[in-house]
Amino acid sequence: MSSVSIAMKVAVIGSGISGAVCASTLAKNGVAVTIFDSGRGPGGRMSQRREIGKDGKELMFDHGAPFFSVSNSDAMALVHDWESRGFVSEWKQAFGSFDCASNKFLGIQSEEGSANKYVGVPGMNSISKALCRESGVESIFGTGIAKLEWLEEDLPWLLKGSNGENLGRFHGLVASDKNIVSPRFTQLTGLPPPLDLNLVPELATKLQNIPVLPCFSLMLAFKEPLSLMPAKGLSFKNSEILSWAHCDSAKPGRSSDSERWILHSTPDYANSVIAKTGLQKLSNETLDIISQEMCKEFQCSGLVTSLPFFMKAHRWGSAFPAKSIAVEDRCLWDKNRNLAICGDFCVSPNVEGAILSGLAAASKLLQTSSSL
């Protein structure tokens, strides 16, 4: 990618891995980038959760993506760079599988031919954090975007916040959140999507109804190691409730004060809960019931030797896209508007898909920068 000769200003909405990779790549090529995120910090589904136990001690959980693998050479080159800079490390653990029907551990999965597992250090959000701090990137958190206006002027994109405030003017726009044109935004907020669908009818059609698979994650902390557990990661077969479990405290760079596990539910279980509760914020009572049901299923394996001293559930309402909408191009692009839409929903429902989509979005904007 060649450097940009004229200072180009680009807004990136969302600081998950696709938005952060895109912003970092643009900044390295001379673009002035501003990231906007409604959350308190970066990470998206690679965020890290800070909780306080009853003893007042801090507990950290990677309650979204537990690790990631890459096979594409472009993604691999980035990951090796991150590894050399110290905020990514390989997680050298063998995983296993547990069959809930026979109540048997099925053995350790063969490592031969399987991709290396990587984690952010000291948390999965460390990657987005580092990318959002890079030279040329300004990051603004706690700021939701209410409206994206297109003006027929030199800096055509005008961003407005939830209180109607002017957040800046930009040459180009990258949205790493599919909800900006999705009916789901209205379902969640009662407000129209920030991007007027009439501006980008072709892109809007592709974004309209991306099916998603929901998920509940359960954060557990134990005083002592689970000594009967034969692996630090388990996939579950024949369980209506659990899909997998990973030992969060076994990752490189994590505190070993307690043994912390993350459990993820099956999409069917999450859908059954959402069918009863809707998408509104769940009550503590409902979350407690979910916690008890997921923990009970984990304990039924017979591998859990003690009761957790901390237990809390979290809902990922659209955890994984169930289809990919731009596999070849890796992002959606409107050259007339200098608008890129990127995310794992474009390529594949994982971290590598998000990385590749972010790189593709940056490439599109850099290709058009010479005309500014």
Question: Is 81 inside any structural domain?
Answer: no
Other C-beta atoms closer than 10 Å to the C-beta of 368 total 15
* pLDDT, tens digit (0-9, with 9 covering 90-100), for 303-329: 998 999 999 999 987 778 888 999 899
More confident site: 371 or 46: 46
Structural domain count, the chain: 2
Examine the domain organization and report whether 180 and 221 are in the same domain: no
Question: Which token pair is 10?
Answer: 């680009």
Exposed e or buried b per residue across 164-180, where buried means at least 16 C-beta atoms within 10 angstroms of its C-beta: eeebebbbbbbbbbbbb
49 pLDDT more than 80 = yes
* 29 in the same domain as 58: no
> Identity (one letter) of the amino acid at 296?
K
Tens digits of per-residue pLDDT, 143-201?
Answer: 989 999 999 888 999 999 988 999 999 999 999 987 777 767 777 778 888 998 889 88
Say if 79 falls within a structural domain: no
| Weakest mean pLDDT among 51-55, 102-106, 205-209, 271-275 | 205-209
Choose the final residue of a domain: 282, 299, 322: 322
Determine the Cα–Cα distance for residues 247 and 161; give it in Å rounded to an integer.
Answer: 39
4: pLDDT strictly greater than 50: no
Domain match, 137 and 261 both: no
pLDDT at 168: 97
Q: Is the same domain home to 56 and 115? A: yes
Q: Give the mean pLDDT of the chain.
A: 91
Q: Which of 175, 195, 171, 176 is nearest to 32 (CA)?
A: 171
Same structural domain, 199 and 327 = yes
- Lowest mean pLDDT: which of 15-29, 61-75, 142-156, 184-198? 184-198
228 and 290 share one domain: yes
Residue 78 lies in a domain: no
Residue 355, pLDDT > 70, answer yes
At 205-217, the pLDDT tens digits run 888 778 889 999 9
- Domain containing 164: what range? 1-47+124-210+323-371
Which CATH number fits the domain that encloses residue 133? 3.50.50.60
Compute how many other C-beta atoms are within 10 angstroms of the C-beta atom of residue 213.
16
Q: pLDDT value at position 196?
A: 87
Cα–Cα distance list, 255 to 25, 240, 246, 249, 356 (Å): 32, 32, 15, 6, 31
Tokens of 371: 């005309």
Element (H, E) at 75: helix 73-84
Pair 97, 64 in one domain:
yes
Q: What is the pTM of this model?
A: 0.94
Go through 222-239 and write b for each residue having 16 or more CB atoms within 10 A of its CB, e for each that does not.
Answer: beeebeebebbbbbbeeb
